[in-house]
């Protein structure tokens, strides 16, 4: 199981997150190419190596070229339109919108407004849009099976924001991280921003202080603050990631039988479950009592998100009951690289057994996007990309 572990001993912000994942191996050119698909103007990304208290890492800084564009899109519905109207891959769009939704729901609760009318203020700025969509791009590129987050350091003191001077942690951060293990007081400033909190809340499968992982890659995202501890976000990519306190299993399989629901609803249900963090969702035709045709809905999910999935299934389907089974998942080691093709860069997923690459395949989302942009069959894109991969000796 490929695990992405966030060690938030000094907190997390949007720029620290971008720097950490770039430092861990996400290709800078790929990130830049994907961000241009947003069609948002007036920003610039600077990436450079720096160090904090002797720890070398990557600093990623998004700057806005024109002040006017810095506050152009502030409402949640406007940001949704930007992302949905882009040519980003569907998985990147979903995670980006999930992160923004986490912030919008927190702000709506704090300020007593409908989610659609939330004014994002700081996180409505172009730099934060790039931080959030960039986060989704980087996570999508790494393709982890599981994302685990340590207790999150929040800091202390006060922070200046659009609503004035507020205590650390800011109300939105507290709401976003409700139910998540946190720490305070390590530094005299805001260590975790709303953007950073929302990224891990939307992406994580589990928050725990006890995790077993065999490190293969490490990345450090350099922050802009100075304190007694290094202002960096550390990420570890490796095998494992199961909580050492867990009794058994590393996932849960949920299932239910449905024979009395409009089949048009299934697409929405599957999308909702995937958006909430399901590892897999699938439907199987079955014959039920009285020879009624029905559907067996199955959801594979980490144990930490099983209750959330049950609530979704009960709310979105007509079922009256759900069965649960602990399961163990065995997965090949994998990584994702970017391949130059006649159509431009395409992500290639590689799988390894015993350290030997045994299979590779182009990412379907990239091939589908290219096919739509060029008006050609997806199969033709696959053939061209596969020939380019073979010519580099990439598939064994």
39: preceding bond cis by omega (within 30 degrees): no
What is the Cα–Cα distance from 95 to 133, expressed in whole angstroms?
A: 8
What is the Cα–Cα distance from 329 to 25, expressed in whole angstroms?
A: 25
% of the chain beyond a pLDDT of 90: 56
Residue, of 352 and 222, whose pLDDT is higher: 222
Residues 178-202: b if buried by 16+ CB within 10 A, e if exposed: eeeebbeebbebbbbbbbbbbbbbb
The β-bridge partners of 249 are: none
Place of tokens 């998004």: 62
The β-bridge partners of 297 are: 256, 283
For residue 163, the model assigns a pLDDT of 63
For residue 250, the model assigns a pLDDT of 61
What is the Cα–Cα distance from 351 to 315, expressed in whole angstroms?
A: 37
Q: Which two tokens stand for residue 18?
A: 């971008």
Specify the pairing of strand 55-64 against strand 43-52.
Answer: antiparallel
Structure confidence by residue, pLDDT tens digits, 139-187 = 999 999 889 999 999 999 988 776 678 899 989 999 999 888 999 999 9
Mean pLDDT over residues 347-356, rounded?
Answer: 82
Q: What is the mean pLDDT of the chain?
A: 87
CB under 8 Å to 110, separation ≥6 — which residues?
171, 172, 175
Q: Is the dihedral of CA 169, 171, 176, 181 positive or negative?
A: positive
What is the Cα–Cα distance from 187 to 199, expressed in whole angstroms?
A: 21
Mean pLDDT over residues 46-63, rounded?
Answer: 95
Side by side, the strands of the sheet bearing 356-362 are 333-341, 344-353, 356-362
pLDDT of 240 strictly over 80: no
**8 Å CB contact between 281 and 266:** no
Residue, of 247 and 15, whose pLDDT is higher: 15
Q: How many CA atoms lie within 13 A of 294 on its CB side?
A: 17
pLDDT of 384 strictly over 70: yes
Q: How many CB atoms lie within 10 A of CB 8?
A: 25
What is the Cα–Cα distance from 282 to 298, expressed in whole angstroms?
A: 5
Picking from 45-59, 70-84, 179-193, which range would have the lowest pLDDT averaged per residue? Answer: 70-84
Global pTM value: 0.67
What is the Cα–Cα distance from 81 to 16, expressed in whole angstroms?
A: 26
Structure confidence by residue, pLDDT tens digits, 271-328 = 999 888 888 999 999 999 888 999 999 999 887 788 889 999 999 999 999 999 988 7
For residue 70, the model assigns a pLDDT of 43
% of the chain beyond a pLDDT of 70: 90
Q: Which two tokens stand for residue 300?
A: 């594979």
pLDDT of 270 strictly over 80: yes
For residue 122, the model assigns a pLDDT of 53
For residue 241, the model assigns a pLDDT of 47
List domains and CATH numbers for the chain: 2-242 (no CATH), 251-327 (3.30.70.1380), 333-391 (3.10.20.300)
Dihedral angle of Cα 323, 324, 325, 330, to the nearest 10 degrees: 120
Total residues found in the chain within this entry: 396
pLDDT of 22 strictly over 90: yes
**8 Å CB contact between 280 and 290:** no
Please compute Rg for the chain using Cα positions: 22
Phi, psi of 66, rounded to the nearest 5 degrees:
-125, 130
Q: Is the dihedral of CA 393, 143, 27, 333 positive or negative?
A: negative
pLDDT of 355 strictly over 90: no
Q: What is the DSSP letter of 248?
A: S
């Amino acid at each position: 199981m490929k695990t992405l572990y966030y060690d938030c001993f000094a907190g997390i912000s949007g720029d620290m997150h971008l720097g950490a994942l770039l430092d861990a191996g996400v290709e800078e050119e790929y990130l830049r190419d994907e961000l241009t698909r947003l069609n948002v103007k007036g920003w610039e990304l600077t990436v450079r190596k720096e160090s904090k208290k002797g720890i070398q890492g990557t600093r990623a800084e998004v700057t806005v070229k024109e002040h006017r564009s810095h506050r152009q899109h502030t409402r949640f519905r406007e940001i949704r339109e930007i992302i949905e109207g882009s040519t980003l891959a569907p998985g990147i769009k979903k995670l980006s919108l999930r992160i923004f939704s986490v912030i919008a729901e927190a702000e709506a609760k704090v300020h007593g407004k409908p989610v659609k009318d939330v004014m994002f203020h700081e996180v409505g700025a172009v730099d934060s849009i790039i931080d959030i969509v960039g986060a989704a791009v980087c996570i999508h590129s790494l393709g982890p099976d599981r994302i685990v987050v340590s207790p999150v350091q929040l800091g202390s003191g006060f922070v200046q924001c659009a609503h004035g001077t507020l205590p650390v942690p800011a109300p939105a951060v507290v709401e976003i991280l409700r139910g998540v293990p946190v720490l305070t007081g390590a530094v005299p400033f805001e260590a975790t921003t709303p953007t950073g909190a929302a990224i891990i809340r939307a992406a994580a499968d589990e928050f725990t202080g006890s995790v077993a992982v065999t490190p293969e890659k490490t990345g450090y995202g350099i922050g802009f603050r100075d304190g007694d501890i290094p202002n960096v976000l550390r990420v570890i990519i490796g095998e494992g990631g199961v909580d050492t306190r867990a009794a058994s299993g590393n996932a849960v399989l949920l299932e239910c039988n449905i024979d009395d629901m409009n089949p048009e609803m299934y697409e929405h249900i599957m999308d909702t479950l995937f958006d909430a963090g399901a590892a897999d969702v699938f439907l199987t035709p079955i014959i039920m009592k009285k020879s009624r045709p029905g559907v067996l809905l199955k959801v594979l999910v980490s144990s930490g998100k099983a209750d959330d999935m049950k609530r979704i299934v009960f709310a979105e389907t007509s079922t009256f009951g759900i069965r649960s089974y602990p399961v163990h998942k065995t997965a090949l080691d994998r990584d994702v690289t970017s391949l130059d093709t006649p159509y431009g860069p395409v992500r290639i997923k590689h799988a390894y057994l015993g350290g030997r690459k045994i299979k590779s395949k182009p990412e379907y989302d990239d091939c589908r996007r290219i096919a739509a942009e060029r008006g050609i069959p997806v199969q033709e894109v696959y053939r061209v990309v596969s020939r380019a991969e073979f010519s580099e000796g990439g598939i064994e």
